[in-house]
Amino acid sequence: MAKNYTTRKSYLIQAVVMLLLINLIVYVVFRAVFVSYNKYGPIEKVLSIFLFIAEGFVLLHAFGYFIGVYRMTKFQKAEPGKRQLTEFPPVAILIAARHEPKKLLENTVISCYNLSYPAKTIYILDDSSEQKYKDEAEDIAERYDCRLFRRETRHGAKAGVVNDCVKKLTDKYIVIFDVDQSPMRNFLNDTVAILESNPRLAFIQTPQFYSNLQSNRVALASDMQQACFYEYICESKSTNDTMMSCGTNVVIRKEALDDVGGLDELTVTEDFATSLNLHLKGWETLYYNHVGVFGQGPENLSAYFNQQNRWAMGAVGVLKKTLKTLLKTPSALRPIQWWEYIITSSYYWVSWAYLFLILCPLIYIFFGVPSFFMSPEVYVGSFLPYLILSNFIFITTLKSRNYGYLKILQGQIIFFLALPVYLRGTLLGLLGINKTFTITAKGDTTAVPYIQLWPQLLLWAINLAAITWGVNKLIYSHSIALAANLVWIICHFTLYSFVFYFNEDVERAAEGSIAAFSDEAPEELKVYQTV
């Protein structure tokens, strides 16, 4: 149970969040009034309704985020109970691999090998079909005393191979690591101690943290994009007992996994879907916000977009399942749990909302068809405060956790670049087109051919054309509405210009390389040298 914990700074943040939420509601009400009572023709009316719905959807998600921030600033993050381990229950460490670079797999195995937890068994779940990768997996398994698991018939991708392996295991806990995730030595000591203290806990999820973010812009930006999720969003979900598994860096109680029939193989985000199954069966889940595992982020836009596409598709599948279950058995979860699942699984639909937000100013500039009806004074008086307050809270709360503004901004920008990917992913998910699980490519740092980035470049080009056309019109008309739309178009154009910034060829930094300094022992170590 979280303890009520307030400092002067917390009071300020809470007060600003409350002000922001009130402002948000006021703005939405004003917008609704202006949309309802405008005297424009049917085309403008329809456009304005769509734009209002799009805005409303984005603001709904913003509302969800800021409620989480409010909770986490009001209540002290309570450290979970840990049992002092006198006995060490057996843990099976599963590393699912299919055609992975040998060095990457070996690094993960080395890190698992070096875990200080005594009762562990490492399994390489090798689903490779090419002999070269099979041989490499065998070599690594032999050298590091791991078990190699293979299956005759491949089904269900990662979820399938995990399920097939888990059926044969008797360990109390299962740890799942992606092939590019390396745990630090104490990872299992803390997480198992927490699981041992609560028999109803199905799993503990820990954050993802990328180690390659110094040398790679895409990895840094995607890490910053995830920072919002792994800080306030996950912590808030954990207090509501709605934390979802993220598929890696997670320790699962085997009994819980068996209770729900294993990982859900019908979706590409088996982690998310399985979490819902666990919560429906009354299991508890926890987010432990201590980085105990380091990984490799996507290193080019292709890898990043592949990853985001998969997440978007999977989330839609979970949304469908959530809504079906809600209609059939609304008492299966608490209202707050339903809210969390719906808000999270519907997140990637914001791409459609943003598409409208991008298109409507363009339609106005090119065709003179308005869609946003509000007097400038009311707009400035209601939206501008929201813009200022939301950015203030967003930046301040993340800065308090050592995230600099410029780094966070990169996370926001790469999200915008991924909008076309989310559009595609959500559509595929809605149509039930089950694209085969595509592993996020590791180690590829080359720039993507620009032809593959045509959606982003198309948006960039259209916005550029709109700026040219709009500035021309503005010179003659001096219209405030025109100027306001142009401001948004310039923002969108600027955002999409970053596709050139992120699409770079990067030479992969040598592993373990750090700045070379003198071999002379620093003061801090001299006392140890004399012992």
The residues binding other proteins (CB under 8 A) are: 106-107, 110-111, 113-114, 143-144, 182, 184, 209-214, 291, 294, 402-404, 407, 511-519, 521-522, 524-525
Indicate the residue among 131 and 402 with the shorter CB distance to other proteins: 402
Cα separation, 421 vs 308, in Å, equals: 7
Nearer residue to other proteins within complex by CB, 182 or 267: 182
Q: Please identify, using beta-carbon distances, which residue of 75 and 210 lies nearer to other proteins.
A: 210
* 262 SS3 class: coil
Residue 122 φ then ψ, to 5°: -100, 130
Contact 253, 166 (CB under 8 A): no
- Asked if 146 and 138 touch (Cβ cutoff 8 Å), the reply is no
- Residue closer to other proteins, measured from CB, 442 or 492: 442
Residue at token pair 């769509």: 50
Which residues, including other chains, have CB under 8 Å from residue 292's CB and lie 6 or more apart? 183, 184, 186, 187, 190, 191, 206, 249
**Tell me, what DSSP letter sits at residue 231?**
I
Q: In terms of DSSP bridges, do strands 75-76 and 3-4 run parallel, antiparallel, or are they unpaired?
A: antiparallel
**Angle 376-399/42-74 helices, nearest 10 degrees?**
30
Q: CA 350 to CA 312: how far, in whole Å?
A: 11
Please tell me whether residue 300 adopts helix, strand or coil conformation.
Answer: coil
Q: How many CB atoms lie within 10 A of CB 274?
A: 27
What region does 283 belong to: left with phi over 0, alpha with psi -120 to 50, or beta? beta
Task: Please give the structure tokens belonging to residue 400.
Answer: 């308090």
Minimum CB separation of residue 471 from other proteins in Å reads 40
Amino acid at 32: A
Minimum distance from residue 414 beta carbon to other proteins (Å): 17
Nearer to other proteins, 103 or 435 (CB): 103
Q: What's the CA gap between 281 and 256, in Å, rounded?
A: 9
Residue 295 pairs with which residues in a beta bridge?
A: 181, 210
Least CB distance from residue 445 to other proteins, whole Å?
16
Phi and psi angles of residue 186, each rounded to the nearest 5 degrees, phi first: -95, 5
Between 42 and 512, name the residue whose CB sits nearer to other proteins. Answer: 512
127 vs 180 by CB, closer to other proteins: 180
378-390 burial, b if ≥16 CB within 10 A, otherwise e? ebeebbebbeebb
Considering the complex, state which of residue 124 and residue 482 has its C-beta at the smaller distance from other proteins. 124
The Cα angle at residue 40 between residues 36 and 43, in degrees rounded to 5: 95
Look at residue 204 and give its three-state secondary structure.
strand
**Based on CB atoms, which residue is closest to other proteins, 186 or 197?**
186
Residues facing 4 on adjacent strands? 75
Structure tokens at 153: 């018939």
Minimum distance between the CB of residue 223 and other proteins, rounded to whole angstroms?
Answer: 9
Is the CB of 55 or the CB of 106 nearer to other proteins?
106
Q: How far is the CB of 490 from other proteins (least distance, A)?
A: 31
Q: Which is nearer to other proteins, 1 or 515 (CB)?
A: 515
Min. distance of Cβ 398 from other proteins in angstroms?
Answer: 11
